[in-house]
Amino acid sequence: MPKDLGKRVAYQRRIARMTQQELADAAGVHVGTLRKIERGARGAGDSVVESLAAALGVDPSVLLGSRDRTDARVHDAMPSLSAVIAAYEAPDEGPARQLGELRTAVDEAVTWRLASQYVRIARQLPPLISELIRAFHLAPPEEQSELASLLVAGLRTADAVAYKYGARDLSARLVDLMRWAAPYADNPLLDATVAYVRTETFFDARAHTAGLRMLQTAIDRAPTGRDDAEIAARGALHMRAAVIAGRAGLVEAADQHLAEALRLGDAVPEDVYQGTAFGPDNVRIHEVSVAVSLGRDHVHRALDVANKWAPPHDLPAERRSGYYIEVARAQLWSGLPRDAFESLKVARHTAPQHTRDHPWVREDAATLRRLRRADAESLSNFAEWCHAGE
């Protein structure tokens, strides 16, 4: 057992203002087990640590006292995930749960993605995706469509880890497999979702203009109905198009797509549609992202949003942390290093795993460290935590 694990669990529990019974219930462990862990009378396996961390809303490394162990466990899972998707046309033999059970398992995995619980995803998605592929191939015709949708959702969840941890080739293969599975679902909304995720490959290749063309094609093909899910699908594509247009330096296109996203966002309640968070608050987050994507001459637009508004707590943690990361960059470019550091700390508190492995966080923390414009010890600790300068 890692040294002082029990003390860290008890400390984080007190910060969260939870009783032992409340934490045990939230993590799905027996309260007697939790008491023994906190006293140091027994150890805790990876699954228990991850459950406790998820219930407390912290990175598992906070409880383990190790910055590197989380990374190691994520990267250790990559080969098994790669092997699973390599065999998608001829999956391993084995059992597959009923459709309802698989639906529940995928829904749970999607909540992990939205909460940036990357260790859980890395450990549990390879066998789940293997089972989904097997179930898809064995399914009767009346179930194949939904299983294709579940497989796409599972692959998207796995891709969140692969992409954020730098496994770009694996991420591209996961996206390709999503594109293979989506037509079997015969669902235009799912096609829009796949196009949204596929944009990652264009960001990674810095092929922003080509990515914008791909998204424009997806927008043209997206359903034009008035159902909330259909509106959200179009709105999410416009959000994505606004950001990639900004990266391409196309100010007019970025503004047009953002304006359309704002219009559609105001037409639906804030929610997660087909695995993508969309609504007026999410579009506002993307206002900041577009401003930062357009470069230093436009960061005042990001600061205008940040000075008047903050993302509500019920938005997905990954989106909220991304907002503060973008705001920090705008503040740094505007000569506000102390404000930038405060924003990075909020991002870390909101979604530790997402923040720690974001390339902009490392770049900006390294810049702040060179400027020496914040508390030296706190900034050094933060820079070491996110491996700034590596």
Please, which residues have CB within 8 angstroms of residue 21's CB and are 6 or more apart in sequence?
A: 31
Of 307, 330, 328, residue with least CA distance to 374 = 328
The structure tokens listed for 84 are: 């699973």
Other CB atoms within 10 A of residue 269 CB: 10
Token digits of residue 66: 């190790």
Helix 317-333 vs helix 280-294: angle between axes, to the nearest 10 degrees? 30
| DSSP output for 193-236 | HHHHHHHHHHHHHT-HHHHHHHHHHHHHHS---SSHHHHHHHHH
Cβ neighbourhood burial of 275 (10 Å; 0-12, 13-18, 19+): buried
Q: Does 187-309 match 1-66 at the fold level? A: no
Q: Which tokens sit at 192?
A: 């829009």
If you search the block for the tokens 């105001």, which residue do you land on? 266
Q: How far is CA 243 from CA 148, 152, 289, 295, 320, in A?
A: 29, 24, 6, 12, 16
Tokens read off for 29: 């462990």
Kindly list the domain boundaries of the chain, sorted by start residue: 1-66, 67-183, 187-309, 312-390
124 CB-contact burial (10 Å; exposed 0-12 / middle 13-18 / buried 19+)? buried
Four-CA torsion 194, 195, 196, 200, nearest 10 degrees: 100
Contact partners, residue 189, CB within 8 Å, separation at least 6: 222, 223, 229, 230, 233, 273, 274
pTM of the model as a whole: 0.82
pLDDT one digit per residue (tens) for the chain, 390 residues: 466 889 889 988 887 788 999 999 988 999 999 999 999 888 888 778 878 887 887 777 778 766 555 667 788 888 999 999 999 998 888 888 999 999 999 999 999 898 878 888 888 999 999 999 999 999 999 999 999 999 999 999 999 999 988 899 999 999 999 999 999 999 999 999 999 999 999 999 999 999 999 999 999 999 999 999 999 999 999 999 999 999 999 999 999 999 999 999 999 999 999 999 999 999 999 999 999 999 999 999 999 999 999 999 999 988 999 999 999 999 999 999 999 999 999 998 888 878 887 889 999 999 998 886 556 678 888 888 787 765
- E-strand spans in 152-264? none
Nearest to 379 by CA among 365, 367, 389, 390: 365
Cα separation of the two ends of the chain: 29
User: Which of the listed CATH numbers 1.10.760.10, 1.25.40.10, 3.40.50.150, 1.10.3720.10 matches domain 187-309?
Assistant: 1.25.40.10
The C-alpha angle with vertex 77 and arms to 172 and 99, in degrees rounded to 5, equals 80
> How far apart (Å, rounded) are the C-alpha atoms in residues 69 and 323?
27
Domain 1-66, CATH homologous superfamily name and number: lambda repressor-like DNA-binding domains (1.10.260.40)
At 70 the pLDDT is 61
CA–CA dist 235, 217 (Å, integer)? 14
Query: What is the identity of the amino acid at 158?
Result: A
Which token pair is 206?
């810095």
